Amino acid sequence: MLLSIISTAQIVRAQNETILFGKHNELIIDGQSGLFSIKHQQKIIIDHAYASFSTNQTLFTTGTYSSHQIKTEKINDRLLGKAIKVTLISTAAGKPTMRQLFYCYENQEFLITELEISGAALRTNYLAPLITQTAQLLTEGDVRSLFVPFDNDTFISYNAKPLSKQTNISAEIGAIYDNNSRQGLILGSLNHMTWKTGVKSAGQNASLKQLEIWAGYTDPAVTRDTMEHGYLRGNTISSPKMFVGYFSDWRDGMECYAKAGRLVEPPYIQPWMKATPVGWNSWGVIQDHLNYEKATQIVDFFDRKIPQFRNEDNTAYIDLDSYWDNMIKGGLSGDLSQLKAFVSYCQAKHLEPGVYWAPFADWGFRGNKDRIAEGSIYTFSEMWTKTAKGYHDIDGARALDPTHPGTRARIHYVINTLKDCGFKLIKIDFLGHAAAESTKFYDTTITTGMQAFRYGMEYLSDVLHHSMLTYAAISPSLATARYAHVRRIACDAFNTIDHSAYTLNSVSYGWWQTYLYDYIDADHLVFHQTNEGTHRARLISGLITGTIILGDDYTVHEDWHDQIIEWLQNPALKQVFHSGKAFRPVEGNTGTKSSTLFIRQDGENIYLAVFNFKKGPNHVVIDKHRLGLSPAETYQLSEILNHKTEILRTTLNITFEQEGAYLYRIHKK
């Protein structure tokens, strides 16, 4: 955070301190006990909260300290505005000094807190700036505690769980909200370069008996780690900055969190200034059958059959996924003439060529251990990430240590070869392999998985040097935002209605990442061997996520092509993906399933997507109040793809004859 001090005067107190922030919020610190509380509209939402940390095998909490001092100062945070910075200093003989920092902003509905410890030769992998057994929402109805995955691997889903006595642990950000009133409490980490963060919650009705946000979280099923979080060492160690806010609409809170995150931890990569990406990727259907002939025929399909399916820059991307090496002979040091010819063929048709690579994954680890990594003098076995159980194996690949010189040399060689070929997009995959905790990294100054991830991703970005649109596939959900323009919101999705529903679960509860990245993406859209309703759902799932990347083998004509060709060149469709921003869910109580309604407002344009995931006839009820529309107005809903209209006065039943989706533009009638 960039801070400019506008007043250096500090006030030191030991009594209670109350600091206002936002419109109706208060931070209250008890100078005697060191406990703190947060109020919203004069009602307590977090009470008797404290901090905790461990060092050198000893656990400390606020209650173990006998002396507390409070310092306040006015600051001007050039990113988030004017604030009061409050420092709560806790000391005791023979114990590390504990500092709890709070940033209370005049014009923000959240505060930021962090925990800093100082002493001699500290060693920790646990810092918790906020723990309480007493917290609550101000309304009681359908209360949910949201599980947010650390990444998008293994077909993991978000889960809007009913709040219960069973502890829910969410990665990096947690949300506890009442779906009926939409009021909610949002807590999340704003920094992801050193720590993995967990948010723990449990309770009943609207009362929380357990609430904690801490740095040092690992779980084999979530962060993929098979060992504990790495340790930080030093005389002063800090947690990430943590976002804490209470919002009248939890969806506003999630978007506010994402926007704050992009400011506090801005992109390392140069932000994308061109139009919303659209195009095609080979993994949808062609997969390992990829070759030069098929790739150039796809280019011909775009050129001849869908010339109007382009973005505002009048282009589209033709992306070669895994098995593009079918088009080279003798490896990357061999004959690249076909690959270069493909690039030239794309460019001659005013299309942009794309390619794929997984920079931190070794797919051949079960073979010869003495294989020399491309562009290096090191064997792959020397480069493997070491863990407490041996190595980090997931998705059929073994993790490479991002700090190893062999990994760096390989990245330099491969990326520069692809740049020399002329590629303008790169899909980077299995990035979570770079974030694995390790017993020892090659660079011994790196001690945590997220430090290693930062090291590797910054180097990758430096070598790319703004030469390509960077698309992240399997990757950490939040930490990757510094290094990618586009991120796939979920795991692989292909052609069925169930695949669309799976993807849209991640949009339902992770749409807010549209404010962390330039774009989020619903994966390649495959229409092969399905019905028209499923085609509509698959296409609209892409539109409401942000981008459209096709995935079929268009070298073979199928009966459904004509309909897709018509839809893709519909001028109204181009208006929808112009902004590239994701739609937000109307409801947030679907567990691991998807919302059926999504809405987005672009200036005067309001769009509504309606889905039927049931395989057969169904109807979906639209309630004007839940959409946030004016109760005094009557609205006309115009469907984008079939041009049919509906009238919405108070409620409206949308009828489906089969699984599928509709996308409406809403007008006042």
Output the pLDDT for position 588. 98
Measured between its terminal Cα atoms, the distance across the chain in Å is 47
pLDDT digits (tens, 9 = 90+) for 70-107: 999 999 988 999 999 999 999 999 999 999 999 999 99
Lookup: tokens for 327? 């088009």
Lookup: tokens for 89? 């200093």
390 within a domain of the structure (yes/no)? no
Count of C-beta atoms within a 10 Å radius of residue 323: 16
Output the pLDDT for position 669. 84
Locate tokens 């061999």: which residue?
Answer: 334
Lookup: tokens for 451? 């430090």
Output the pLDDT for position 13. 57
DSSP states along 181-233: T--EEEEEES--SS--EEEEEEEETTEEEEEEEEE----TTTT--SSPPPPEE
Whether 52 contacts 131, CB under 8 Å: yes
DSSP states along 6-19: S----EEESS-EEE
620 within a domain of the structure (yes/no)? yes
Whether 583 contacts 507, CB under 8 Å: yes
pLDDT, the chain, mean: 96
Supply the range of the domain harboring residue 640.
Answer: 585-668
Closest-CA residue to 526 (of 563, 488, 561, 494):
494
- Give me the residues paired with residue 213 across strands: 130, 199
- What mean pLDDT do residues 283-307 have? 98
Task: Inform me whether the pLDDT recorded for 211 exceeds 80.
Answer: yes
Whether 459 contacts 475, CB under 8 Å: no
pLDDT digits (tens, 9 = 90+) for 597-638: 999 998 888 999 999 999 999 999 999 999 999 999 999 999
Please list, in sequence order, all residues whose beta carbon lies within 8 angstroms of the beta carbon of residue 568, skipping any fewer than 6 positions away.
Answer: 306, 308, 309, 548, 550
Which CATH number is 613's domain given? 2.60.40.1180
Where does 422-560 have alpha helices with state H? Answer: 449-464, 497-510, 532-545
- Give me the residues paired with residue 484 across strands: none
- What mean pLDDT do residues 442-459 have? 98
- What mean pLDDT do residues 353-382 have? 96
d(CA 658, CA 559): 19
Integer angstrom CA distances of residue 278 from 64, 275, 298, 311, 429 = 57, 9, 14, 6, 19
64 within a domain of the structure (yes/no)? yes
Task: Inform me whether the pLDDT recorded for 19 exceeds 50.
Answer: yes
Task: Inform me whether the pLDDT recorded for 144 exceeds 60.
Answer: yes
| Domain end (from 264, 297, 332) | 264
Q: Is 609 helix (H, G, I), strand (E, B) or coil?
A: strand
φ, ψ of residue 585 in degrees (nearest 5)? -75, 150
- What mean pLDDT do residues 127-145 have? 97
**At 369, is the pLDDT very low, low, confident or very high (cuts 50, 70, 90)?**
confident
pLDDT digits (tens, 9 = 90+) for 532-579: 999 999 999 999 999 999 999 999 999 999 999 999 999 999 999 999
Integer angstrom CA distances of residue 16 from 114, 130, 209, 509 = 20, 18, 24, 38
CB neighbour class for 429 (10 Å; exposed up to 12, middle 13-18, buried from 19): buried
φ, ψ of residue 109 in degrees (nearest 5)? -90, 25
| Domain end (from 212, 240, 264) | 264
**At 14, is the pLDDT very low, low, confident or very high (cuts 50, 70, 90)?**
low
DSSP states along 33-94: T--EEEEETTEEEEEEEEEEEEETTEEEEGGG-SEEEEEEEEEEETTTEEEEEEEEEEE-TT
196 within a domain of the structure (yes/no)? yes
**At 325, is the pLDDT very low, low, confident or very high (cuts 50, 70, 90)?**
very high
- What mean pLDDT do residues 333-353 have? 97
- Give me the residues paired with residue 376 across strands: none
108 within a domain of the structure (yes/no)? yes
- Give me the residues paired with residue 98 across strands: 90, 117
d(CA 456, CA 458): 6
φ, ψ of residue 596 in degrees (nearest 5)? -95, -10
Integer angstrom CA distances of residue 225 from 362, 485, 487 = 17, 26, 22
411 within a domain of the structure (yes/no)? no
- What mean pLDDT do residues 210-221 have? 98
371 within a domain of the structure (yes/no)? no
- What mean pLDDT do residues 360-382 have? 95
Closest-CA residue to 17 (of 9, 25, 3, 27):
27
429 within a domain of the structure (yes/no)? no
d(CA 541, CA 621): 19
The residue ranking higher by pLDDT, 4 or 237, is: 237
What are the respective helix, strand and coil percentages of the chain, to the nearest 5?
A: 20, 35, 40
Task: Inform me whether the pLDDT recorded for 5 exceeds 90.
Answer: no
d(CA 55, CA 462): 35
Which CATH number is 83's domain given? 2.70.98.60
d(CA 39, CA 26): 5
Whether 154 contacts 491, CB under 8 Å: yes
Task: Inform me whether the pLDDT recorded for 348 exceeds 60.
Answer: yes
Lookup: tokens for 428? 């980077």
d(CA 605, CA 667): 8
Whether 220 contacts 228, CB under 8 Å: no
| Domain end (from 220, 238, 264) | 264
Output the pLDDT for position 11. 56
Please list, in sequence order, all residues whose beta carbon lies within 8 angstroms of the beta carbon of residue 368, skipping any fewer than 6 positions away.
Answer: none
Amino acid at 158: Y
d(CA 327, CA 312): 31
Output the pLDDT for position 2. 40
pLDDT digits (tens, 9 = 90+) for 404-442: 999 999 999 999 999 999 999 999 999 999 999 999 999
pLDDT digits (tens, 9 = 90+) for 170-207: 999 999 999 999 999 999 999 999 999 999 999 999 99
Domain count, the chain: 2
Output the pLDDT for position 625. 96
Amino acid at 292: Y
Integer angstrom CA distances of residue 439 from 226, 228, 229, 384, 446 = 11, 10, 10, 12, 11
- What mean pLDDT do residues 237-250 have? 98
Integer angstrom CA distances of residue 478 from 187, 339, 467, 515, 516 = 14, 33, 23, 11, 8
- Give me the residues paired with residue 3 across strands: 77
